[in-house]
Amino acid sequence: MPQQSDEHLLSVFEKLNKLSFRRQQLMDRRNVLSMLIQFKRNNGQNEQEYSKETGELQQIDEDLKVLSDRKIELEKMQEGGSLLIDTTKSSSVIFVDSPPPFPAPQVILDVKQLPRHSSKTQCPFCRQYITTEVMTKAGSVTYLLCLISMVFCCVAGCCLIPFFVDSCKDVTHKCPKCRSNINTCKKF
């Protein structure tokens, strides 16, 4: 599923690139045409004599408008929103953000706010943008739960269970590049 969306993003990105290129071509052509029209006008030609150029200029303006609409659409898609095109008015596009199945991966700059799973952040030691590696380690809560289960109901070593359950343990975020410990999320 993430691979598919990567490919999708890549194709959106390629389309955006092609679109910018096409836009540049049109802008160049537009500049040439305006100069030509200006030149003909200055030479005393009347409007009919350069109507072909004026017509092409208008066509280019329309094409440019379509392109910029398309560009907005693609940029929205790149941001992960899906869009609905209102067919009754072809020029108006309504964007509807689809609720993501999981929180969008965002770069968390405050390392103190890193969640208990691997996340994108900037390493405070090597200043690189990284996806943290997480390691779980028995923390005070783990020992506490172990103690409680020993006091109340220890049958067949169930006091050891907290040591095998990640959600009872502390989570340490590590930088995959410089191997520094970025932050530890204590259970309490």
Residues 36-95 touching Zn ion, rule: CB under 5 A, are none
Q: Which of 77, 96, 83 is nearest to 9 (CA)?
A: 77
Strands 129-131 and 82-85: what pairing? Answer: unpaired
Q: Which of 173, 175, 183, 185 binds Zn ion (CB under 5 A)?
A: 175
Residue 185 interacts with Zn ion (CB under 5 A)? no
Cβ atoms of 93 and 83 within 8 Å: the answer is yes
Give, rounded to a whole angstrom, the gap between the first and last alpha carbons of the chain: 34
- Total of residues contacting Zn ion (CB under 5 A): 6
Residue 178 interacts with Zn ion (CB under 5 A)? yes
Segment interacting with Zn ion (CB under 5 A) among 26-34, 59-67, 114-122, 170-178 = 170-178
Residue 88 DSSP code: T
Cβ 179 to Zn ion shortest distance, Å: 7
Residue 177 interacts with Zn ion (CB under 5 A)? yes
**Residue number, 105 or 176, with CB nearest to Zn ion:** 176
Cβ 176 to Zn ion shortest distance, Å: 8
Strands 107-108 and 93-96: what pairing? Answer: unpaired
Residues 108-127 touching Zn ion, rule: CB under 5 A, are 123, 125-126
Residue 100 DSSP code: P
The angle subtended at Cα 8 by Cα 5 and Cα 14, nearest 5°, is 145
**Residue number, 123 or 168, with CB nearest to Zn ion:** 123
Cβ 135 to Zn ion shortest distance, Å: 15
Strands (E) located in 48-119: 82-85, 93-96, 107-108
Q: Which residues bind Zn ion (CB under 5 A)?
A: 123, 125-126, 175, 177-178
